[in-house]
Chains A and B, each alone.
Chain A
Amino acid sequence: MVEKPLSQLNSGEKGRVVKVVGDPLLRRRLVAMGVVRGAEVIVVRRAPLGDPMELLLKGYYLSLRRNEAENVFVEVDGKQT
C-alpha cells in the first residue's frame, strides 16, 4: 500500500481515501460530497486540457481541480514509486 495525493493518480487507477487536508471550507465541501476517509475513488479521466479530473465515487461522478485533489490523500495498491 502506498499513500499519495489523489492528484497523482492516473486515469483508471483506484484508491481509498485516508485523509483530507487543506483549507477548511474546501475540506468541508469535499467531505459533504462523500470524499471521506474510507471512501473508494476511481479516477475516470482528465479533461482534454489536463485539468480538472473526473472521479467516480459513491456511485456518482465528481470533478475536481488538481489543486483541490492535492488535498485528498489516498491509499493505492502497488509498489513505492
Chain B
Amino acid sequence: MMVKVALIGNPNVGKTVIFNNLTRGREHVGNWPGTTVEKRVGRGKHKSVTMEIVDLPGLYELTASSIAELIARDYIVKENPDVVVNVVDASNIERNLYLTLLLLELEANVIVALNMWDVAESRGYGIDVKTLSELLGVPCIPTIAPKKVGIEELKDEIVRATQKRRVGGRPISYGDDVEMFIGKIETIILRDARLSKYPARWLAIKALEGDERALKTIEELAGPETLSEILSIVAESRSVLGGDPEVVLAERRYNVIRVILERAVRKREVKLILTDVLDEVFLNKYLGIPIFLAIMWTVFYFVFEVSEPFMKLLNEGFIMLGKLAGETKTPLASLWADGICSGLGFVLQFIFPIIFLYIALAILEQSGYLPRAAFLMDRIMYNVGLGGRSFIPMLLGFGCNVPAIMATRVIKDERDRLATILVIPLMSCAARLPVYVLIAGALFPEYAGTVVFSMYMLGIILAILVSLLARKLVPGLKGKPAPLLLELPPYRVPTLTAVLSFAWRRALVFLERAGTVLFAGALILWFLAYFPWGVEPGSGDSYAGLIGNTLQPIFSPLGFDSKLVTALVFGFWAKEVVIEALGILYGVEGEEEIRSVIAASVSPLTGLAYMAFVLIYVPCIATVAAVKKETLSWRWAAFLVAYQLTLAYAVALIIARLGSLL
C-alpha cells in the first residue's frame, strides 16, 4: 500500500530534518510546476506501508496572494494527501497553531508534530499533549527531530491515521456571530453540486474572508448569481462584525488558540535566553553593522578565495586532458582540446564557489543569522526598491554573479527576487577586474586605482537606478518591495551533515540545469573562434572576427575599432577572455605587451568607454544560464541581455560624447 503524506509548517520549524528522518535520504528535488518554489518528494517505509512524502513550502498562512501558499493549499485540496503532518515549533506554539487551525479548516487529515520539544522545555513551556490533542481533535506527537526523538511514534501515528480517515472532524467554533455567516454561505455552497469537490465550510470561510481564488472558483463553477448572493452576505457581515471579516476571523482564531493554550500549556518564567544575549551584540546599535561586515568579509573570502586554487587545478586538469589528443592540428583534435575539454573545465570550475557558497549560506541560515542580516540592511535596500534579504546576494555579486544569482533563493517574495536577479549583473564581478586593471594601467598609469574604483561605483549607481526604474516600469516587477514582516528565530548551532548535504545537492542541481546551457555556449564560441578551419584562432579572420568586423560600424560612435569589438564578442563567454582575445587580435603575448599596444592604439576616452561597456554588458553566458535557471524563463534571460546591451551602449556613448566636449 502506498500512502501520500504532506509535510507542512511555518518556516524554520525543523521540517527538513523531519523529512529526512521519514525518508532516510531517498528523495527527489525539483520545482513545483511553473514556479521556482522548490519541491521535495521522498519515499519511506514503515510497517509494510510505503509513504510518499511531499515537503510543502514553509509558510505562515494559506492565502491566495503568495505562490508558495497557493501551491500548498492546492496540493492539499486537489491532491488530497492521506495524511498532513503539521510540523509545529513547540517553543513558539501560539503563532504556529494559527496554521494548524487553517489546516483543520481545510479538513485535512492532520497530525501535529510538536517539534523543538527540547527548546520548548528549556524555555519553560509545559505542554500537556493529551489535552492539546483533545482540544484540537487531532493527534499530537512531541518530537526532537535531530535526535530522532518521537519519530517512530510519528510514523506509527501516520500509519494509524491512514487507516481511519478523519471526516470533517470537530470544527472549531469562531463564535456565534461569525458562525452564522459561515453557515449561511455554507448552505449556498452545499446547494450546488458543482462545488462539492471543495470542503464546504472551508470554501465558505475563504469566501467570507474575500479570498480572490475562492470567489473566482465559486463564480466559475456555480455562476455569477451564486457569487453575488454570497457577496451580499459578506457585505452584510462587514457591518455586523464591525470590521473586515478576514481580520475578525484572524482575531477569533487567535482567541481559540488562547483558550486552548490556557488549558494545555503551563509556562514557567525563564530568565535570560541565549538568543537575547547574542542579539544584544549582533544587533547592537554600534557593533551590529561592523560585525555584519566582518561576517560578510569572511563569507566572501571563504567562497571566492578558498575556491580559487580548486578552480585553477580543475581547469589545468582539463587542459592536460585536452593535450592527450596530441597536437591540435585537426578540427577533431581541436574540438576535443579547445572545445570539449576547455568547455568542461570552464563549466565544472563553477562547482567550487557554488559549493562553498551554499555551505556559507546554509550556515548563515541554520544559525539564524540570515534574517538578522536582512534586519540590519533593510533600510538601505528598501530605499533602492528592494528588501533586506537582497543584500547578501548582491554583495556576493562582486565575487561572481553566478553564485550570487543562485543565492537569491533566500528572497521569499517573487518580485523582489526577480528585481534582485536583474541588477546583480551590474555588481562588478572578479572576472571583470583584470580587464579594468589592464586597460586602466595602460591608459591611466597615474590614476589606475581611482579609475578601477570608479568602475565599481558606476556599477553600484547603475544597479540602484535600474532597480528603482524597474520597480516603476517593468511589468512583473512593478510595485513596492514586499512587506518585511520578518521573523527573527532563535540562534541555533548548525548541523554539519545538514549543511554539507544541502550544499552538495544544490551544486548538483546547478550542474544539471545550468551545465548543459553553459556547455553548449562554450562549444558555440569554440566554433566561432576556430573556424573557418585553418585561421589563427580568435583572429580577425575567424567567424568571431567576422562578427566583430560586421558589428564594428554600430560601435564606431563609441570609438571601438573592430579588434575591440571582436574581443567583446569573446567576452560573452567570460570576461577574463577579453584580455586574451585582445592579445591574439593584436598579435602579441603577455600582459606587458598587451598593455603597451593598448597604450599606443587606444585613446584614454575610448578606454574609459570600453571599460564601462565591459562592466555593463552581459557578464558571461554562465550568468545568463543562471538567470534562465533561477527564473525558469528565457524571457527574463533575454530581457537581461537586452537591457544590459542597451544600457552599456548608452553609458559608453555618454562617456564618449561628454569626453569629446571637454
Main secondary structure of the interface of B (DSSP, over half): helix
Interface residues as binary, A38-60 with B (CB distance below 8 Å gives 1, 0 otherwise)? 11000011011111101000111
Which of B61, B65, B92, B283 sits near A47, CB closer than 8 Å? Answer: B283
Chain B: minimal CB distance from A49 (Å): 4
Chain B: minimal CB distance from A24 (Å): 7
* Structural contact, A63 and B284, CB atoms closer than 8 A: no
Chain B: minimal CB distance from A70 (Å): 12
Chain A: minimal CB distance from B278 (Å): 12
* Structural contact, A29 and B483, CB atoms closer than 8 A: yes
* Structural contact, B60 and A33, CB atoms closer than 8 A: yes
* Structural contact, B98 and A34, CB atoms closer than 8 A: yes
- Chain A residue nearest to B485 (CB atoms) is A29
Contacts of B244 in A (CB 8 A): 24, 27
Instruction: State whether the Cβ of B295 lies closer than 8 Å to any Cβ in chain A.
Output: no
| Bound Cα distance from A6 to B500, whole angstroms | 42
A34 in contact with B94 given A29-B483, A63-B488 (CB within 8 Å) = yes
| Bound Cα distance from A28 to B289, whole angstroms | 32
A20 in contact with B247 given A29-B485, A36-B254 (CB within 8 Å) = yes
Contacts of B246 in A (CB 8 A): 24, 28, 31
Which of A26, A36, A60, A61 sits near B251, CB closer than 8 Å? Answer: A36
A63 in contact with B60 given A48-B376, A51-B379 (CB within 8 Å) = no
Cross-chain pairs A/B with CB under 8 angstroms, 30 sampled? A20-B247, A24-B210, A25-B65, A26-B483, A27-B244, A28-B63, A28-B247, A28-B250, A31-B246, A33-B95, A36-B251, A36-B254, A38-B251, A39-B254, A45-B279, A45-B283, A48-B286, A48-B376, A49-B380, A52-B484, A54-B283, A58-B95, A59-B91, A60-B92, A61-B488, A61-B489, A62-B486, A63-B486, A63-B488, A68-B483
Interface residues of B, count at CB 8 A:
38
Instruction: State whether the Cβ of A30 lies closer than 8 Å to any Cβ in chain B.
Output: yes
Interface residues of A, count at CB 8 A:
34
Instruction: State whether the Cβ of B378 lies closer than 8 Å to any Cβ in chain A.
Output: yes
Interface residues as binary, B52-66 with A (CB distance below 8 Å gives 1, 0 otherwise)? 000000001101010
Instruction: State whether the Cβ of A1 lies closer than 8 Å to any Cβ in chain B.
Output: no
| Bound Cα distance from A40 to B93, whole angstroms | 16
* Structural contact, A30 and B485, CB atoms closer than 8 A: yes
* Number of inter-chain CB pairs below 8 Å: 113
* Structural contact, A31 and B247, CB atoms closer than 8 A: yes
Interface residues as binary, B231-271 with A (CB distance below 8 Å gives 1, 0 otherwise)? 00000000000001011001100100000000000000000
A residues in contact (CB < 8 Å) with B: 20, 24-34, 36-39, 44-45, 47-52, 54, 58-65, 68
A65 in contact with B378 given A31-B247, A34-B98 (CB within 8 Å) = yes
| Bound Cα distance from A31 to B244, whole angstroms | 12
Contacts of B388 in A (CB 8 A): 52
* Structural contact, A47 and B251, CB atoms closer than 8 A: no
* Structural contact, B487 and A61, CB atoms closer than 8 A: yes
| Bound Cα distance from A28 to B210, whole angstroms | 11
| Bound Cα distance from A30 to B95, whole angstroms | 12
Contacts of B247 in A (CB 8 A): 20, 27-28, 31, 36
* Structural contact, B254 and A47, CB atoms closer than 8 A: no
| Bound Cα distance from A43 to B98, whole angstroms | 23
Contacts of B531 in A (CB 8 A): none
Identify 4 new A-B residue pairs, CB closer than 8 A, beyond the known A60-B487, A61-B488, A65-B382: A24-B210, A27-B244, A48-B376, A51-B378
| Bound Cα distance from A49 to B388, whole angstroms | 12
Residues facing A in B41-72 (CB within 8 A) are 60-61, 63, 65
Instruction: State whether the Cβ of B375 lies closer than 8 Å to any Cβ in chain A.
Output: yes
Which of A26, A51, A54 sits near B488, CB closer than 8 Å? Answer: A54
| Bound Cα distance from A58 to B63, whole angstroms | 22
Residues facing A in B322-376 (CB within 8 A) are 375-376
- Chain B residue nearest to A71 (CB atoms) is B483
